Chain A
Amino acid sequence: MEPRTAEPIALGEYLAFAGEPTAGPVCRTPDGIRLRRDAIGHRSVFYRVDANGVWFGPSLAGIAAQKPQLNLESLGSYLSCAYVPGTQTLLQGHFAVAPGTEVTVSPSGQAVTTSTWELPSTPLEWEDEAALREELRAGLEDAVRRRLPSPETSVAATVSGGVDSSLVVALVRRLHAGPLAAHSIAFGPEYPNELEFSGSVAEHLGVPHRVLQIHHTDIASSFDATIRALAEPNGDPLTVPNYLMFKEIGGGSLFNGEGGDPCFGGPKNAPMMLDLLLGEGSEAMAAGYLRAHQRMYDDRRISLKGDVFSRLSTDRLEDVIGEFLTSEKWPGLVDRLMAINVVFKGGWHILPKVESLGAEHGVTPCSPLFDRRLVELAFRIPGPLKRRGAIEKYLLKEAVRDLLPEAIIERPKSGMMVPVEPWFSGPLRGWASERLLDGLSRFDLFERRWLEDLVRGKTGGLRPRRGIKIWQLLTLESWLRAVDARVA
C-alpha cells in the first residue's frame, strides 16, 4: 500500500477486513490469526475475540461489540493523559496491539504477544559530535526522501513556525522537485497565532503559504465527525483542527513535524529533571510524568464519583512508566524519557491521531521524524547532545541550521495554542455545558457539581486549565455516545 514508507506493513490486509470477523486466510499462521503492528506505531490495530472469531481493525469503535462496557481502569489513564496508553482500551474485552509487537490469537481464542522490535539502548559518551550531526542530517533526508511521492506530484506540509515542522518542510523543499505548499492554522484575528513565524519560514523557502482559518463554529460542527474518525479517544484539542486541515487538503501526502520533541530532547525533559531534583524523589517520578501531561491526573479524585474513583487505578500505568525511569538500558534521564515518549506519545497518542484523521480524508500523513530508522538513530545520540545546557533539541537544530532562518532555530518552543479557554468561557460555553451536563452526566461517572463548576469557570487552582479539561471530557462524551457504551 505504501511501498515508500520506512517499514511497509501489511495494512491492506486488515484494513480490508476492518470490522468483519476473520473468515479467510488473512494474517493466518499455523498458530492462529496474527495481528502485527509496526515498530513505532504509525498504524493502530485493535482486536477482540468472541464466539464468531477475531474482530480486528484500525479503529476501536469499528470493532466494538454491541453496547460495550466501559473499562474503568483505562478511564483513569484517559483522564491522566488524554489518550489511552497500553494494550487495555476504554472498552472491556477490547485490546490494542502495542507498537513493535504481534499478537497471535489461537483457535481457542488465546492471545499471545511477541515482540518484533526493541527500543535500542543509548550510549552516555560520544566521540565525534560533527560525525553524529552529519549522520543525523543524512538520516533526516533519508526519512523524508522515502516518503516523497513521484517528483511531479504535489506535496503539502504543515508548518507551525516551530523548528520541527519548519525543518521538515525545508527538507521536502530541498528533496522534492514538484509543487509544494505550506499550510498553517489560525483561529481568527482575536486569538494569538504563530503566522508571523510560519509565514517567515514559507517565505524563506519560497513556498506558497496557505492559512486555514478555523472558527469556533467549525469546531462545534465538526466535533462528532472528528471523534468518530479517531482510532481511539484522544482528548488533544488539536484533533478537530487536524481533521479540518486534512479535509482542506483532501488527498495526497501531508508532511508534518511530529516526533521532534519526543525523540530529540524537547521541552518536556526539563520539568522531569526538576521533579527528580526538587520533587519527592525518584519514587514519585512516574506520577510526575503523568502530571506533566497537564490534563486531569490531579482532578480524578474530586471529579469522579466516589465509587467510580475507587474502581479505577493508574497503578499499572505508573508501574510501566517507573520501569522505564529506572531501566539501566538507558544511562541518562533524557534517554529514558525519550524511550517513554516514543512508546507513549508516539505509538499511543500522536501517530494514531494523525493517521486515523488523515485516513478519513484520503490523506497520507507523513511523519518523518517518527521514522523507525531515524528513531533508532536518535537513540544513538546521547542525551547531552539532544539537550545542551538549556538548549532543547540541540543536535537536531545544528543538523538543519543551514536550512532555516536563525530566528526559527533560536526561538523557544511555543506550541500551537488552540483557544479553548476563551471558547469555553465564551461562544462555546452553552454547547459544552449541554454536552457535559446533559450528555456526559448520563454515564454517571462524574460528580455533577464538579462538572457544573467546570463549565461555569468556578473550579479554582493556580492554573485551572478549564478549557483543556472541558475539551477532554467533550471528547469522552462524544466517543461514548458513538459506541453506545455502558457503565456497569
Chain B
Amino acid sequence: MKCIYCQNDSKYSDRIGGKCPGCGKAFAFEPKNQDPLTDAAFKAAIDRVSSNEQVKWGVEHLRYEVWRLLSAKARKTRRAGWMVVGAGALLLTCAVTPLFVFAIIGGIAILVGILVISLSRRPSLEQSEFDRLYDRYTAAHGVPKTAIVRRPRQGPEPTRIAPDLLEYSFDRAVICDRARTVDLLVANQFHFENNCAILGAEGYPKHAFEIVRSMLKKNPKLEVFVLHDATVEGCALAKRLSTDPKWFGGQNLRIVDVGLRPAHAKFYPGMEVPADPAPQGVPEGGTHPEMAWLRKNKLELAVVRPDQIVKRLYRAMTNLPEPADGDNGGVSGSDVWIYGGDYGTSDGGADSFG
C-alpha cells in the first residue's frame, strides 16, 4: 500500500502501528482490516473532486466521488467474475469430449464467477459510512485545503459597513434550492467572476438574504438562473420564483432552470436515491413522466463534480440568447426556460452534465 506522502509501497507486515515504514506518517485506512479503500484511493478521489486542488468542494461532492470510485472497483470485480463464468462455460463445452475433469473445473469456475458477481453488486455509500471514512481520513491527514468549511460570519451587517448597498443591483442572480450549493459557488468565486448574486431559496445566507433579494428587485432586466437537485421541490423552484411576489412574481423576467432533472439520472447510474415525501402544496414542476420519476426518486446536484456545475452554469449564462420582443408570449409575469445544453460522454461521473 502506497503512502500519500513518501510514495513508499509497503507490505502489511511492515506497517507497524498503522504507520508508513518510509516516513512514519500514519495511515487512515487498512484494507487488510476490511476498510473499503486505501489512503491513496481516498486522496485520488479528493484530487478528482478538486480538479487537482483547483476547485473548492463540499463533503457531499466527495461522498459521490468516493461512491464512484467504489462503483468502478466493483465494476472491475464484476468484469473479472464474468470472465471466470465465460471460461467455465468454455470448459464445459469442451467436456462434451470424454475429458470429465474439464467439466468439473468448468462447473466450479461458473459457481465461483457467479459468487464473485453477486458479491460485487453495485455498492452504495451510505452517509454514515462516508462520514466515518472522512473523519478517519481528516484525523490522519487534516482537512483538505480545498474543502469548503462554513465559518460563522464575522463583523457587522453589510449595510452598516456600506449604507448605500440597498441602492444597487446586479446583472444576474443564481437561486439554489440548497445552502450548500450557494457555498460551493461562492467558495469558487462564481459571484465575483460573473457579477452574479447567489442565494438559497430558503433564506441563505441569513445575514445577507433580504438585503440581496431586495437589491435584485431593482434591476428590471435581471437574469435569473436556478440550480437544484432533481426533486419535486427542486424541479418546481423556477416556477415558484416566477410566481411568488416575494421573489419575481409580477416582474417580466426570464428565469432559466439549469438544475438537475430526471433525464440526467441516466448519466449517473445507480446514484439516484429514494425520494423524500414531498411537502404539501408543492406545484408540479415537471412533465407527467418526470413527476412519476420524482415521486419515487431523487438525484442530488452534488453527484455532479463541482467544476462541471460551475462550467454548466457559466455556459448557460454566456450562451443565453437575446430575448426577442414579447419573449414570454405576452403572458404577464416571469418566464421559465429549461436550459438544455448537451450531454457529453460520461466517465460515470460528472462530465456528462450538459
Nearest Cβ distance between residue A292 and chain B, in whole angstroms?
A: 7
Residues of A within 8 A of B197 (CB): 274, 277-278
* B147: min CB distance to chain A, Å: 15
Asked if A390 is an interface residue, CB under 8 A from chain B, the answer is: yes
A292 contacts which of B192, B205, B211 (Cβ < 8 Å)?
A: B192
Which residues on B sit within 8 Å (CB–CB) of A387?
A: 167-168
A334 and B52 CA atoms in complex are apart in Å by 37
Binds B, one of A2-10, A25-33, A414-422, A458-466: A458-466
B residues with CB within 8 A of A: 51-52, 54-55, 151, 153-156, 158, 161-165, 167-171, 182, 186, 188-189, 191-193, 195-198, 205, 208, 211-212, 218-219, 221-222, 307, 310-311
A279 engages B307 (CB within 8 Å) = no
Size bracket of the A interface: 35 or more
By beta carbon, the residue of chain B nearest A279 is B186
Q: Are B193 and A282 in contact (CB under 8 A)?
A: no
Are B164 and A274 in touch, CB under 8 angstroms?
A: no
In the assembled complex, the Cα of A326 lies from the Cα of B156 at a distance in Å of: 12
Extra inter-chain contacts (4) besides given A279-B192, A282-B158, A461-B55, CB under 8 Å: A275-B192, A282-B155, A332-B164, A462-B310
Instruction: Pick from B156, B169, B186: contact of A390, CB below 8 A.
Output: B169
From B55, B195, B219, contact of A389 by CB (8 A): B219
Report the separation of the CA atoms of residues A332 and B208 in the bound assembly, to the nearest whole angstrom: 17
Q: Are B165 and A276 in contact (CB under 8 A)?
A: yes
Binds B, one of A91-99, A209-217, A265-273, A423-431: A265-273
Give the 8 A-B residue pairs with the shortest CB-CB distance, closest first: A332-B164, A333-B162, A384-B167, A461-B54, A460-B54, A389-B218, A390-B219, A390-B169
Contacts of A250 in B (CB 8 A): none
Nearest-neighbor residue (CB-CB) of B314 within chain A? A462
27 CB contacts below 8 A, A to B, read A269-B168, A270-B168, A270-B171, A271-B192, A274-B192, A275-B191, A276-B158, A277-B158, A277-B165, A277-B197, A281-B153, A281-B155, A283-B154, A288-B192, A326-B161, A332-B163, A333-B161, A333-B162, A333-B164, A335-B164, A384-B167, A389-B169, A389-B218, A390-B218, A462-B55, A462-B188, A462-B310
Known contacts: A389-B168, A389-B218, A390-B170. The answer to whether A270 contacts B311 by CB under 8 A is no
Question: Chain A's nearest CB lies how many Å from the CB of B173?
Answer: 11
Contacts of A291 in B (CB 8 A): 189, 192
Instruction: Kindly provide the distance from the CB of B163 to the nearest chain A CB, expressed in whole angstroms.
Output: 6
Is A139 on the interface with B (CB-CB < 8 A)? no
**Which residues of B sit under 8 angstroms from A279, Cβ to Cβ?**
186, 191-192
Question: In the complex, which residues of chain B have a beta carbon less than 8 angstroms from the beta carbon of A281?
Answer: 153-155
A124 interface residue (CB < 8 Å to B): yes
Chain B residues in 8 Å Cβ range of A271: 191-193, 195
**Residues of B close to A124: CB separation below 8 A:** 163-164
Shortest CB distance A72–B (Å): 24
* A390 and B222 contact, CB distance less than 8 A: yes
Name the distance in Å between A192's Cβ and chain B's nearest Cβ: 13
**Which residue of chain A lies nearest to B209 when distances are taken between CB atoms in the complex?**
A277
Least Cβ–Cβ distance between A288 and chain B, in angstroms: 7
Shortest distance from the beta carbon of B161 to any chain A beta carbon, whole Å: 5
Q: Could you tell me if A277 and B211 are in contact, using CB atoms closer than 8 angstroms? A: yes
* A439 interface contact, C-beta 8 A: no
Inter-chain contacts of B219 with A (CB < 8 A): 389-390
Interface residue? A346 (CB, 8 A)? no
The CA-CA distance from A466 to B165 in the complex, in Å, is 34
Which residues from chain B contact A389 at a C-beta distance below 8 Å? 167-169, 218-219
A269 to B156, CA, bound (A): 20
The answer to whether the Cβ of A85 comes within 8 Å of any Cβ in the partner chain is no
Q: How far is the CA of A273 from the CA of B166 in the complex (A)?
A: 10
Which residues of chain A (322-345) have a CB below 8 Å from chain B?
326, 331-336
- Report how far A291 CA is from B186 CA in the complex, Å: 14
**Bound-state Cα–Cα, A267 to B51, Å:** 30
Q: In the complex, A270→B51 CA distance in Å?
A: 28
Q: Does A280 contact B (CB under 8 A)?
A: yes
Q: Which B residues lie within 8 Å of A280 (CB)? A: 151, 154
Smallest CB–CB gap between A75 and chain B, Å? 23
Please, how many angstroms separate the alpha-carbon atoms of A461 and B182 in the complex?
19
Q: Which residue in B156, B182, B191, B193 is a CB contact (below 8 Å) of A463?
A: B193
Query: Measured between alpha carbons, how far is A336 from B219 in the docked complex, in Å?
Result: 23
Report the minimum CB–CB distance from B280 to chain A (whole Å).
32
Residue in A closest to B197 when the chains form the complex, CB atoms = A274
The reply to whether A276 and B154 form a contact with Cβ atoms under 8 Å apart is no
Bound-state Cα–Cα, A439 to B20, Å: 41
Q: Kindly provide the distance from the CB of A413 to the nearest chain B CB, expressed in whole angstroms.
A: 10
Whether the Cβ atoms of B54 and A273 lie closer than 8 Å is: no
Interface residues of A in 361-407 (CB under 8 A from B): 382-384, 387-390
B191 touches A278 (CB 8 A): yes
Query: What 1/0 mask marks residues of chain A from 70 to 102 whose CB sits below 8 Å from any chain B CB?
Result: 000000000000000000000000000000000
Question: Cα distance A387–B186 when bound, in Å?
Answer: 24
Say whether A462 contacts B311, CB under 8 Å: yes
Instruction: Give the chain B neighbours of A383 by CB distance below 8 A.
Output: 164, 167
Question: Which of chain B's residues have a CB closer than 8 A to the CB of A336?
Answer: 162
Chain A residue nearest to B166 in the complex (CB): A384
- CB of B52 within 8 A of CB of A460, answer yes
| Interchain CB contact (< 8 A) of B208 among A278, A412, A463 | A278
Residues of chain A in range 222-281 having any CB-CB distance to chain B below 8 Å: 267, 269-271, 273-281
Query: Bound complex: CA of A124 vs CA of B164, how far in Å?
Result: 8
Please report the C-alpha to C-alpha distance between residue A382 and residue B162 in the assembled complex, in whole angstroms. 13
Instruction: Report how far A274 CA is from B154 CA in the complex, Å.
Output: 16
**Whole-angstrom distance between the Cβ of A286 and the nearest chain B Cβ:** 13
Chain A residues whose C-beta falls within 8 Å of the C-beta of B182 in the assembled complex: 278
Contact (Cβ within 8 A) B205 A278: yes
